[in-house]
Structures are given as C-alpha cells and as structure tokens.
Structure 1
C-alpha cells in the first residue's frame, strides 16, 4: 500500500514539474567571461539578423564566441593561444613566467631546447613557489593577473 501511494505521489509530482515552464526572468545565459574580463555590456549579445536576411557570424554570435570575434576585429587574440617563446632555461632564480587570469593554469612543456622531449602537461598554481617539469627540470611560475576575489561569486 505504501509503495502504491509513493508511485501515485511521484506521478503527480512529475506531471506538475513537466507542466511548469520557465519564466523569462528565470532564464539567463551561462558564461564566465563577464566576471573574468569585466562587464561586457550590450556587446555580449549580437543584434541578430534583420527581417528577411540571414545573420552574419558577428550578428549571430553571443558570449565567448562574440567576444573572441570582436577581439579579432581589433587585431587582438583574446585567449593568447600562441606558444610561449622560450629563449632560456627556466631555473628557480629565473623561472619561465606564464600569464594567467586564473589561479591554476595548464602548460605544455617540450623541453629546452624546444622539442627535446615529448609534450608533458604541467599544472601551474599561483600558490606554489614554482612548478617544475619532471622530464627536463625546467621551472615555471604563474604571473597572476587575475583579481584576488576569484571569478566573482565567492567560492
């Protein structure tokens, strides 16, 4: 009898949940770009296409994609994805500095000189004194340029 009551109750709850539709004020875009790079304002969402036309990439794009397109139009690389030019061997006294807006960053090391060993991924942490490649011993350190409050919602 108890299991029958649970099944009936579960069906009623499920039906009521399915019938509910989200209110407009409950729906919002998910992105971490705003807290990282400051408020983007009206440029965060594209204007969309005019009636009877097909939207261009810039008109259609939103969020990170739109920010990346706008940065490319200004001749900037938003995420700086180019490899680091390493002209010296990183040591404890003079480590290879890696810019980061996050307190933790992944970096691939191929040794010094370049391509002297297989690619190894290292996890750099701003709280570490330095981080060292286990293969070649090269030393890396984060040059943290983010905000001390993290990404804006207190955890």
Structure 2
C-alpha cells in the first residue's frame, strides 16, 4: 500500500515539474504558438496555400466576369463533378439565380449567360 502511494506522489511531482518547466520555456522562448503551428490536415493545407499567396484557395469569393456565350462559356472550377453557381443577371438585381453545374456540356442561366464546369485537382489531393 505504501509503495502505491509513494508511486502516485512521485508521478504527480514529476508531472508538476515538467509542466512548470515547459511553461517557463514557452514564456521565455516565444510565447504561445499561433494557429498555423496547431493546424493539421485540410486546415493546414489551406493555411499553406494562403501563406503561399493564394488568398482564396477554395475559390469561394464573388467574381465579376464577362457574360459567357455558348461557344465561350464562363469556366467555373471545381474539384468535384458538380458545383452550385450563383448568377446575378443584372447589376441592380436584388436576388441571385442559383443553378447546379455538372461536368460535360455548358449550361445556360435564365438571363442567357453560359457556364461550364472545369474540373481541377482539389486542395486535399494537391499535397499528395
């Protein structure tokens, strides 16, 4: 019984010692790590792309493009075989026309603008 109690006390003291040493080292050596040092997986890949200069790695920002025609549609990139796209047909329009684009033929919006899905390698597959 005494050995079990002694072992618990020794482990607790060792943990406290390690904790206080790491706290002192962290405070003296630069402080708390930032988000980039804690990120893993897809989040880390996204932060790597942002750090490399790609401010929109998933291409979710609104883009202004010229009206696409049937022979030269607006190319929309996607890592998948379909993507939802919103078209603001007129400058003063207060709503967005949403439509699904699928791989293959160009598709036409209600306003007459043409869109075509262009498949690209995804951010998750790009690092492999």
TM over 0.5: yes
Picking from 104, 109, 116, the partner of 1:133 is 109
Counterpart contact for 1:107–1:123, Cα < 8 Å = yes
**Structure 1 unaligned regions, length at least 5:** 1-50
Describe how 1:67-82 pairs up with structure 2 within 5 A. 67-76=45-54, 77-82=56-61
Map 1:1-155; keep pairs closer than 5 Å: 51-52=22-23, 53=26, 54-76=32-54, 77-87=56-66, 89-111=67-89, 113-116=90-93, 118-127=95-104, 129-134=105-110, 136-146=111-121
Give me the TM-score of the superposition, normalised by structure 2: 0.61
Q: Report the CA distance shift for 1:145/1:115 in structure 2 as closer, same or farther (over 3 A).
A: farther
RCO higher in 1 or 2 (8 Å CA, sep ≥ 6)?
2
Unaligned runs of 5+ in 2: 1-21, 27-31
Aligned equivalents of 2:92, 2:87: Cα separation in 1 = 9
In the aligned structure 2, how far is the partner of 1:94 from the partner of 1:85?
A: 16
Query: For the residues of structure 2 that align with 1:114 and 1:58, how far apart are their CA atoms?
Result: 39
Over the aligned positions, Cα root-mean-square deviation in angstroms equals 2.3
Deviation at 1:122, TM superposition (A): 1.1
Measure how far apart 1:86 and its partner are: 1.0
Which structure's CA Rg is the greater one? 2
